[in-house]
């Protein structure tokens, strides 16, 4: 982008959920422009097909050896009662179901990546207590309408057995396969709609307390207020935003040297899984402080691009979220109080900053490159210091 080409002339693109609705998040590119990731050894990739029965899968689920990650289901795409019932009808009619994709964890448990909704529907019908769900009553059946209204227990014994002995094909990515390879493989899978988002993949492949912390922060009143309730949870975009904040709290921007932002976020989830409760509480407090401070300093324009002579409200920008939130979290309460009555001054200076092509690019494209990360953090730090020194 040249000096003559004003950033304000560029309309931001947005991310969409499965139904084509805006997620409320500006679409940005997190990788380094033209960058390449370190290739993994294809000889270390082990993919193994497994044929197993529904009965055996349910045993795995009850033992905690099968992770369906129920909150991984996209809210916009959760199957209706009729769709779930039709799946059960397919089993009763001996219609083969599509392959299910899963990853094997170090403890030999399986994390289901593609097929969550199918297995959830089956479990809800056969053993709803295993996932703490309401029992499924069959409805809108096409060929076996005589079983409309039936639960699993209402079916004749022979049909119960038919379901329990149904074989499903699991394509299992074995443990020992490089994590980056797992992400690459599953990112290519598209059997039930849009390909999984990067955060959906992180959520599915990296179990542990990081999952719970991100869900907690994304649902907090402080986050919802700071983002004006405008971020859709359908593709876990709001959890990725929280993860970006935590990533730069655990690794200060000046220590960020990688060009692979996705790897950086994955590593952060693993680090969070190893933190003590005291360390988690410190992160929680810092996050809430940052959200409150963002509202105080930026008001309804927090985490959004602002331009002179432009009155429209832009979508939330992930790079702006991390840089504004992290930088404000590092300021003392006294400095936040000092900035509070100078919101207009902060806004004016921020719009001047948006006219800087280098800063604009640092929050719009190649946002994961070390140089752009350093530039946007230093630029915002300088902005606040300029206002505080005035």
User: Is 164:52 a contact under the CB 8 Å cutoff?
Assistant: no
Binning pLDDT at 50, 70 and 90, where does residue 71 land? Answer: low
pLDDT value at position 389? 93
pLDDT value at position 162? 97
Res. 70: pLDDT tops 70: no
Interval 238-242 mean pLDDT: 96
Decide: helix, strand or coil at residue 53: strand
Binning pLDDT at 50, 70 and 90, where does residue 2 land? Answer: very low
Q: Which has the higher per-residue pLDDT, 114 or 340?
A: 340
Q: Other C-beta atoms within 10 Å of 306: how many?
A: 17
* Segment 338-364, tens digit of pLDDT: 999 999 999 999 999 999 999 999 999
Res. 382: pLDDT tops 80: yes
* Segment 188-205, tens digit of pLDDT: 765 555 567 889 889 888
Interval 146-157 mean pLDDT: 97
Mean pLDDT of the chain: 88
pLDDT value at position 386? 95
Q: Which has the higher per-residue pLDDT, 6 or 58?
A: 58
Q: Label the pairing between strands 22-26 and 14-16.
A: antiparallel
Interval 356-374 mean pLDDT: 93
pLDDT value at position 33? 38
Q: Which has the higher per-residue pLDDT, 35 or 340?
A: 340
Res. 229: pLDDT tops 90: yes
pLDDT value at position 192? 55
pLDDT value at position 22? 57
Q: What is the DSSP string of 164-224?
A: HT-EEEEEEE-TTS-HHHHHHHHHT--SSSSPPPHHHHHHHHS-SHHHHHHHHHHTSHHHH
* Segment 73-101, tens digit of pLDDT: 444 456 889 999 999 999 999 999 999 99
Interval 358-387 mean pLDDT: 94
Q: Which has the higher per-residue pLDDT, 7 or 98?
A: 98
Q: Other C-beta atoms within 10 Å of 240: how many?
A: 23
**What number of CA atoms fall less than 13 Å from residue 151's CA on the CB side?**
9
Q: What is the DSSP string of 232-283?
A: --TTSHHHHHHHHHHHHHHS-GGG---S-HHHHHHHHHHHHHT--HHHHHHH
∠ CA(250), CA(253), CA(254), 5° rounding?
A: 115
Interval 1-10 mean pLDDT: 48
- What letter would DSSP give residue 340? G
pLDDT value at position 9? 47
């Amino acid at each position: 982008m040249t000096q003559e080409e004003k950033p304000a002339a560029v309309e931001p693109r947005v991310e969409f959920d499965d139904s084509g609705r805006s997620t409320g998040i500006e679409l940005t590119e997190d990788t380094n422009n033209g960058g390449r990731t370190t290739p993994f050894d294809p000889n270390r990739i082990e993919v193994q097909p497994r044929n197993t029965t529904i009965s055996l899968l349910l045993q795995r689920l009850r033992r905690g050896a099968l992770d369906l990650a129920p909150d991984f289901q996209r809210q916009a795409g959760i199957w209706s009662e009729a769709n779930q019932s039709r799946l059960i009808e397919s089993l009763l009619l001996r219609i083969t179901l599509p392959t299910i994709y899963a990853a094997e964890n170090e403890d030999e448990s399986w994390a289901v990546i593609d097929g969550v909704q199918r297995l959830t529907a089956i479990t809800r019908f056969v053993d709803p207590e295993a996932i703490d769900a309401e029992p499924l009553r069959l409805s809108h059946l096409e060929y076996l309408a005589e079983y409309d209204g039936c639960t699993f227990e209402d079916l004749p014994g022979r049909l119960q057995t038919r379901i329990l002995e149904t074989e499903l094909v699991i394509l299992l990515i074995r443990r020992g396969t490089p994590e980056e390879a797992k992400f690459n493989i599953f990112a290519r899978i598209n059997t039930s709609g849009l390909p999984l988002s990067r955060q959906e993949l992180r959520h599915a492949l990296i179990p542990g307390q990081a999952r719970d912390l991100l869900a907690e922060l994304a649902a907090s009143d402080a986050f919802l207020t700071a983002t004006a309730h405008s971020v859709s949870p359908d593709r876990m975009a709001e959890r990725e935003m929280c993860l970006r904040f935590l990533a730069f709290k655990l690794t200060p921007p000046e220590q960020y040297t990688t060009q692979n932002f996705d790897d950086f976020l994955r590593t952060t989830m693993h680090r969070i899984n190893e933190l003590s409760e005291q360390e988690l509480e410190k992160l929680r407090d810092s996050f809430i402080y940052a959200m409150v401070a963002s509202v105080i300093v930026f008001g309804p324009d927090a985490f959004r691009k602002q331009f002179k002579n432009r009155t429209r409200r832009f979508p939330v920008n992930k790079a702006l979220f991390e840089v504004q939130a992290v930088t404000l979290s590092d300021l003392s309460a006294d400095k936040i109080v000092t900035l509070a009555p100078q919101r207009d001054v902060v806004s004016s200076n921020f719009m001047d900053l948006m006219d800087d092509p280098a800063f604009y690019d640092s929050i719009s494209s190649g946002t994961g490159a070390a140089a752009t990360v350093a530039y946007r953090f230093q630029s915002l730090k300088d902005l606040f210091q300029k206002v505080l020194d005035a």
